[in-house]
Amino acid sequence: MTRRGLAVAGVVLTAAALLASCSTPGPGTATQPSKSSLVTTPAPTPRETPAQAQTPAPSTSPTGRASAAAMTAADVYSFNRDLVLSVLARHGSARALDKLGRLARNRAGVSGVCHAIAHDLGHAALELAGGRVGDALTDRDDVCGGGFTHGVIEHALAESADPGADMLNVCAPQQDGSCWHGVGHGLMFASGMDTVRALAGCDRAPRPVLSSRCGEGVFMQLFSADLAAGHAEGTAAGHAAHGNSSRGAPTRAPIARDPAAAREACRSIGSPHDAPCWFYAPVVWLTVHPDDFAGGIEWCRGAGTGFPSTQCARGLGSRTVKFHPDDLSIGARTCGAARELLDACVNGMGSYWSVHWEGAVPPRDLCAHLPKGKARKRCPTVTE
């Protein structure tokens, strides 16, 4: 087992102790479960749709209990990561992913960090599978934006002796977009965070759409997108270094806290990879200015007229839903005040609304859940 595997095992042992003291609300409820349900995780349950879901109970801590002090996003991330890693070790990936999905739907703050947690589950699952990607993905699930698949693939490529060859086989035979998004993450680790080399790898994908999805993973990693969601910086740094996968080349630092550098990076990227670059760039703004979505719109406007600013606004709109799926008024206010970027912002909200519900609803379903105003009025026209 690698050093990372030993670290995962340590987290799992710690999380096992937490499991006995943590509540697990069922869908649409904040009631405390019985003691037996704290020990035995329920079998996976079907995902409800927005029409079936109820609003999560407000002002709860990661344990489901009322909290006098607000928990930081990093606390929510760490606590719930350890919890689902414990479920993974005891019951397998399917149970762990089901657990994570229910936490994201019913526990305050988890939705914003669940993608990062799903990545970590993917890393741990690959370790438990002895590095065999196929075995790790037996219980593949798209909960939390497909982060589990991304985590398995990125970890496999980061540990690979020949990532240039393995990247063409690791997603076979399906060769689907979510897997290739994970390839993009993995190529960043394998290249020592060298964007040019990673994108050159993406361009070898068997189809253009897969190359684009790979590019998404590259820029999500470049901008440390999950830091804005509370993903611990130590974990992000560990990802960059684990496996020593840059093969002796110096590992470059991701652009996590420098909005000006993020903007300059995107200006240097040509088509088609400039699209995901501008889409993910606003997460750097949000890392430095948490929840300042209005300021983020102004930052996007400074990217330049046309394509850069509209793609940036799309990305910002998507983050309002990712971080606050239970309060769409935040995104509606942000987009409603975005003037010429209104349509792009609402389009981004719709794109992540569908991701949040794992594709069970189309982006346009968002419109019925928005409060009255400019965003709701434009929504049916600008969402797919």
- Under the banding of pLDDT at 50, 70 and 90, the label for residue 105 is confident
Calpha distance 347→15 (Å, rounded)? 39
* pLDDT value, residue 374: 98
- Under the banding of pLDDT at 50, 70 and 90, the label for residue 350 is very high
Tell me the pLDDT tens digit for each residue of 299-327: 999 998 899 999 999 999 999 999 999 99
Calpha distance 275→270 (Å, rounded)? 9
Calpha distance 96→168 (Å, rounded)? 28
C-alpha closest to that of 275 among 348, 332, 346:
348
What do you get for the CA distance between the two ends of the chain, in Å? Answer: 45
Query: Which DSSP string do the residues of 315-328 spell out, in sequence order?
Result: HHHHHHHHH-TT-T
- The length of the chain is 384
- Under the banding of pLDDT at 50, 70 and 90, the label for residue 21 is very low
Cβ neighbours for 100, distance < 8 A, ≥ 6 positions apart: 80, 84, 114, 117, 118, 121, 143, 144
- Under the banding of pLDDT at 50, 70 and 90, the label for residue 57 is very low
Tell me the pLDDT tens digit for each residue of 231-245: 334 444 444 444 444
Query: Which DSSP string do the residues of 192-217 spell out, in sequence order?
Result: TS-HHHHHHHHTTSSSHHHHHHHHHH
Cβ neighbours for 377, distance < 8 A, ≥ 6 positions apart: none
* pLDDT value, residue 7: 40
Calpha distance 355→376 (Å, rounded)? 19
User: Residues 265-271: contacts with CB within 8 Å, 24+ apart?
Assistant: 265/195, 265/222, 266/303, 266/308, 267/308, 269/195, 269/199
For residue 228, pLDDT beyond 60: no
Tell me the pLDDT tens digit for each residue of 60-103: 444 444 343 467 778 889 999 999 999 999 999 999 999 999 99
* pLDDT value, residue 195: 96
DSSP E strands in the chain: the ranges are none
The rounded Cα 308 to chain-centroid distance in angstroms is 22
Instruction: State mean pLDDT over 29-42.
Output: 28
- Under the banding of pLDDT at 50, 70 and 90, the label for residue 250 is low
69 C-beta neighbours (distance < 10 Å), count? 7
21 CB-contact burial (10 Å; exposed 0-12 / middle 13-18 / buried 19+) = exposed
pTM of the shown model: 0.78
* pLDDT value, residue 249: 54
* pLDDT value, residue 288: 92
* pLDDT value, residue 5: 45
Positive or negative, the CA dihedral 372, 316, 48, 358 is positive
C-alpha closest to that of 195 among 227, 165, 219:
219
β-strand partners of 60: 66
Q: Is the peptide bond before 308 cis (omega within 30 degrees of 0)?
A: no
Calpha distance 239→56 (Å, rounded)? 32
